Structure 1
């Protein structure tokens, strides 16, 4: 089972309203638990073939301090941009390692398939690739910050 299938499973469970789903296959065991609030989704993933204890993904709540205080002019201005969102819960990194350059910067032109960032989830480093071409207008998350599933990460101008 690859990361895209797991992400689609998480989306499906979150939309279905189920409180808990367990999936056991030959090589992995996945448990997805959701609370009444969609921001409290937890995913537990463990390889079945190892004797390690089950790993738990942290459930974080990252809320903007200026939530609801966005001026109407800025909201309509941002609507022309494409928002790239986090496909998983984890820790957001803007560069592959501390001594390497940033993947992307504001004002940089990106193409479809370019790596934008890395999200670490359960000690796995997942490269997040762009699904659109354009120019990076805004980076919405600080480096080394926790991110939630479907949290906006980048604004891209497709023109």
Structure 2
């Protein structure tokens, strides 16, 4: 059994409306656990490596001063032979999307010129789709994350040549 993201979202909605605290589904190569405590809904999904795992992560309420910065994608210098390149990193935990929808064109490709304010990708966190805009000018040299792949806070997403 494998579930697509729509089925998982429907399951989350059903669990949150039903008032159940936890639901687990486990098959030989697929496991999903949905836990609710009336406030946020947390989803933990373990899928085979071939399939991207949709992960909805919630920031902990215990440390509000460590919340993700409001400025999108803070650039930082890369090291090694890419020293002249700028690394655009993820400003949050979520799922990386290269386009605004499954049948839509991607925001940027390798070789595209970008400028501050240009939308580079979407990161979906807890059903909120956040457009990530560039803060730098340059040319996309490399896209470091696959479409629909989970990303961590501060994970490198793009390499940009500022020259």
Question: 68, 88, 91: which is aligned to 1:87?
Answer: 91
* Equivalent-residue separation in structure 2 for 1:130 and 1:110 (angstroms): 7
Query: How far did 1:77 drift?
Result: 2.0
Query: How far did 1:55 drift?
Result: 3.1
Question: 117, 129, 133: which is aligned to 1:113?
Answer: 117
Query: How far did 1:78 drift?
Result: 1.2
TM-score by length of 1: 0.56
* Equivalent-residue separation in structure 1 for 2:124 and 2:80 (angstroms): 32
For structure 2, list consecutive stretches of 5 or more residues without a partner in the other structure. 1-37, 43-55, 59-78
Structure 1 counterpart of 2:142: 138
Give the paired residue count: 94
* Equivalent-residue separation in structure 1 for 2:96 and 2:120 (angstroms): 10
Q: Secondary structure at the residue paired with 2:80?
A: helix
Query: How far did 1:76 drift?
Result: 2.5
Segments of 4+ in structure 1 off by > 6 A? none
Structure 1 counterpart of 2:57: 58
TM-score by length of 2: 0.54
How large is the RMSD of aligned CA atoms in angstroms?
1.8
1:150 matches 2:144: no
Q: Secondary structure at the residue paired with 2:139?
A: strand
